[in-house]
Amino acid sequence: MRDEPQPDLLTSLGGPQGIADSSLPALAFVIAYTVGGNEIGLAAWIAIGVGAAMAVVRLLRREPLQFVLAGFAGVALAAFIADRTGRAEDFFLPGLLLNAAYATAYLLSIAIRWPLLGVILGPITGEGMSWRKDPERVRLYSRASWIWVGVFTLRLAVQLPLYLAGAVLALGIAKTAMGLPIFLVAIWLSYLVLRGEPGLRGEGSGARMLN
Write down the pTM of the prediction. 0.79
Is 4 a member of any domain? no
Is 3 a member of any domain? no
C-alpha pair distances (Å), 93 with each of 82, 138, 187: 9, 34, 25
Which range scores top for mean pLDDT: 64-68, 118-122, 204-208?
A: 118-122
Is 37 a member of any domain? yes
Is 184 a member of any domain? yes
Nearest-angstrom CA–CA distance, 94 and 51: 15
Q: In this predicted model, what pLDDT tens digit does every residue of 141-175 receive, in sequence order?
A: 999 999 999 999 999 999 999 999 999 999 988 98
Is 18 a member of any domain? yes
Is 2 a member of any domain? no
Output the pLDDT for position 15. 57
Q: Where are the alpha helices (DSSP H) in 63-198?
A: 65-85, 93-111, 116-125, 135-164, 168-177, 180-194
Nearest-angstrom CA–CA distance, 93 and 77: 10
Nearest-angstrom CA–CA distance, 12 and 120: 8
The number of beta carbons lying within 10 Å of the beta carbon of residue 201 is: 12
Nearest-angstrom CA–CA distance, 78 and 80: 5
Q: Which domain holds residue 150?
A: 9-208
Number of domains in the chain: 1
Q: Is the pLDDT of residue 54 over 90?
A: no
